[in-house]
Structure 1
Amino acid sequence: MSKIVVILGDMFEDVEYTEPIKAFKQNNHEITVVGLEKGQIVKGKRGNASEKIEKSFQDVSINDFDALLIPGGYSPDELRADENAVQFTKKFVESGKPVFAICHAPQILITAKVIKGRKITGWKSIKQDIINAGAIFIDEEVVIDDNIISSRSPADIPAFVKASLKKLKE
């Protein structure tokens, strides 16, 4: 069983949170939701999901967790404006622990300056941002580069979840 931290801000992409979480829980992984303010209720942009932030970035350490999930939507853009969120993400990637990033999630990875020279995918509208950050954009449903597993969109969720669960077993 792994301890997975999900970093979540308002207007996250509903299924990019709910589907991986459901799969992780079915495989007996423990989930902790971290955000900007403990107790805050964040909502999915489609209105199909909401979640209460269990802990703020000031309350946690990367040492508390085995893997990081970053759902897309507007959430990564909101989180990357917060220095604590950026530093947590940066330290997590640099630790070598698994990082699962889907859709717009690379936005916070770009701000954390941790994708230069890495192969990564994401939503088509941030392709140029990924390239400008020095990463190699790969247009595939799942891209695995060492500890970062990335996917493009909700359509890629089945492959994303499968690759993420496989990485957790390593």
Structure 2
Amino acid sequence: MSQVLAIMTNDVEDIEYTSPAEALEAAGHHVTLVEDEANKTLTGKHGTTFTTEKGIDDISVADYDALLIPGGFSPDQLRADDRYVALVKDFFLADKPVFSICHGPQLFIQTGLVKGRTLTAYTTVRPDLYYAGGIVKDEPVVIDRHLITSRTPDDLPQFNAAITKELA
């Protein structure tokens, strides 16, 4: 069983968290939801509420096997906080699996580690990734070593299959 860390805040695209989390848990993995503090209630763009399990200051990359970053307006808020940027950077540098969909890859830009990586994201995020040095594709799922990215909720079946396969 792998330990998957999910980072998000309010205005996340609800299904971009619930669908991958359900797929991962159905495959026997544990998903830990993290934001600024434990036991905090977050509200998605479509009204779903989520309760965080831990706070960002209470976790260590060493304790987790993979990172999940759902989209919506959440990643743009998280990338303004150096703690989340550092966390994403640490996952990349440790070469651990990172799963991100839609606007999630916005967080990668702040890490300075996009250059040379092949990835995708929501249509408006793709130019930003390109200008940050990424090799950007317009495909449902793009896999670059342990980095798995996807474009929109329509791609969730392929994304979920890819992330569960990565941890199998």
Interval containing the TM-score (normalised by the shorter chain)? over 0.9
Code of the aligned partner of 1:2:
S
- C-alpha deviations, 1:85-105, integer Å up to 9, x for none? 110111011111110010001
Q: Which moved more, 1:88-97 or 1:33-42?
A: 33-42
Matched residues, number: 168
Matches for 1:1-170 after TM superposition, within 5 Å: 1-47=1-47, 49-169=48-168
Are the counterparts in 2 of residues 36 and 79 from structure 1 also a CA contact under 8 Å? no
Tell me, which stretches of 5 or more residues in structure 2 are unaligned? none
User: 1:40 Cα deviation (Å)?
Assistant: 2.0
Separation in 2, partners of 1:41, 1:125: 29
Q: Give the TM-score, by structure 1 length.
A: 0.96
User: 1:136 Cα deviation (Å)?
Assistant: 0.8
User: 1:37 Cα deviation (Å)?
Assistant: 2.6
Separation in 2, partners of 1:50, 1:136: 35
State the superposition RMSD in angstroms: 0.9
User: 1:113 Cα deviation (Å)?
Assistant: 1.6
Equivalent pairs: percent with the same residue?
44
- C-alpha deviations, 1:7-42, integer Å up to 9, x for none? 011100011000011111111101111112323211
User: 1:107 Cα deviation (Å)?
Assistant: 0.6
Q: Secondary structure at the match of 2:143?
A: strand
Separation in 2, partners of 1:4, 1:164: 11
Separation in 2, partners of 1:128, 1:122: 9
User: 1:112 Cα deviation (Å)?
Assistant: 1.4
Tell me, which stretches of 5 or more residues in structure 1 are unaligned? none
